[in-house]
Structure 1
Amino acid sequence: MLHAPCEEVTGFGPDLVRLVEDMFATMYEARGVGLAANQVGRGLKVFVYDCPDDEDVRHVGHVVNPRLVSADGLVLRGPEGCLSLPGLEAGTERYDEAVVEGFTVEGEPVQVRGTGFFARCLQHECDHLEGRVYADRLSGWRRRRVLRQAARAPWGR
């Protein structure tokens, strides 16, 4: 499911509200900073986040049907992990600035701007909804190392 693009949300209502609430609870339980719906078995374009930026300002929210409209600035390689690949981490290149547009669970338009670590989080979650994990962005020895570690992990067997 993680490698299949998610579907647009068409129904805004109590079921979507419950999904977002459940996703926040799951993310907090796993001690993550972001979570996409396909990580909990739902192939819908929704993600939640509770993530600091590089100035330690906390950003909390959700985006339904997000579109990464801008990824700009410096390209930085930084450590990146994923709740779907627990315990693994690799230096992954991401832009230092990102803008995502989408909707709230009420169907209201929302725009989220991030810099630093928060920009990394926004790009990471948008990737999930397009059927990609951070390991798909790696190449060479970094990619081989993560794939080897995943194959050896208890959850990867």
Structure 2
Amino acid sequence: MSASSLLIYPDPRLRLVAAPVTAFDEALRDSARVLEAVMLAVSALGLTLPHIGRAQRLVLLRMEPGEPVTAYVNPEIVWASPERGPQQEGSVSMLGVMDVVDRAVRVRVRYRDLDGAEHAEEAEGFRAACLQHEIDQLDGIFWIERLSRLRRDRAIKRFGKLRRPGA
């Protein structure tokens, strides 16, 4: 799969709730390899299987070039700080559009790795926002749904203009 495998907003599959992964096998590792190839091809910090039309709960995250990619299988936020803060967000499925989303500043996430081993991670700041963003995607919540109606409408309009031929 390549960058052309990426679903583009408003594809309705971006709003589907992803099913839990139940088999930690070679098929899951193959899916992770495909997802990583697409993620690197589009220079994303994070990507989910739903971004490429596969409704399973797998997130890949790599915050910095050269940093190893972390796989989060069936991730769930088990704690979020009451303190919130703004983060600039966007999506490779809506390339060229960004806006500020208010999210918990710190989170604790429980997940499994590709072999099924359980892990927990505490994250803060931008990494916490990225985890929340990608877990939202697994839950069928595209990032612009976290914006006010006015800002969401503006983002959709900007994206429409960017997609016009010659834009």
TM-score norm. by structure 1 comes to 0.89
- In the alignment, structure 1 segments of 5+ residues that lack a partner are 53-57
Of 28, 32, 38, the match for 2:40: 28
- Structure 1: distance between partners of 2:152 and 2:34: 32
Aligned residue in 1 for 2:114 = 105
Give the deviation of 1:98 after TM superposition: 1.3
Question: Aligned-pair distance for 1:46?
Answer: 0.6
Tell me the equivalent position of 1:44.
56
- Deviation, 1:50, is 0.3
1:117-156, CA deviations, whole angstroms, 9 ceiling, x for partnerless residues? 000000000000000111001004321211212333328x
Amino acid at match of 2:100: G
Residue 6 of structure 1: aligned partner: 18
Q: Which residue identity lines up with residue 62 of structure 1 in the other structure?
A: A
Question: Which structure 2 segments of 5+ residues have no match?
Answer: 1-12
Distance 2:121 2:14 in 1: 23
* Distance of 1:60 and 1:116 partners within structure 2: 18
More strand by share: 1
Residue deviations 1:34-61, cap 9 Å, x none?
Answer: 0011001100011000015xxxxx6740
RMSD of equivalent CA atoms: 1.6
Cα 1:59/1:72, change in 2 over 3 Å: farther
Identity of aligned residues (%): 27
Mean CA deviation greater in 67-76 or 127-136? 67-76
Q: How many corresponding residue pairs? A: 150
Number of the residue aligned with 1:118: 127
Counterpart of 2:104 in structure 1 is: 95
Q: Is the 1:91–1:142 contact (alpha carbons within 8 Å) kept by the matching residues of 2?
A: no
What is the correspondence of 1:77-96 to structure 2 with a 5 Å cutoff? Answer: 77-96=86-105
Alpha-carbon distance between aligned partners in 1 of 2:75 and 2:22, rounded to the nearest angstrom: 13
- Distance in 2 separating the partners of 1:33 and 1:116: 14
Distance 2:29 2:45 in 1: 19
Q: Does 1:145 align with 2:154?
A: yes
Q: TM-score, normalised by structure 2?
A: 0.84
- 1:76 paired residue among 55, 78, 85: 85
Name the SS of the counterpart of 1:51 in structure 2.
Answer: coil
Q: Give the letter for the 1:36 counterpart.
A: T
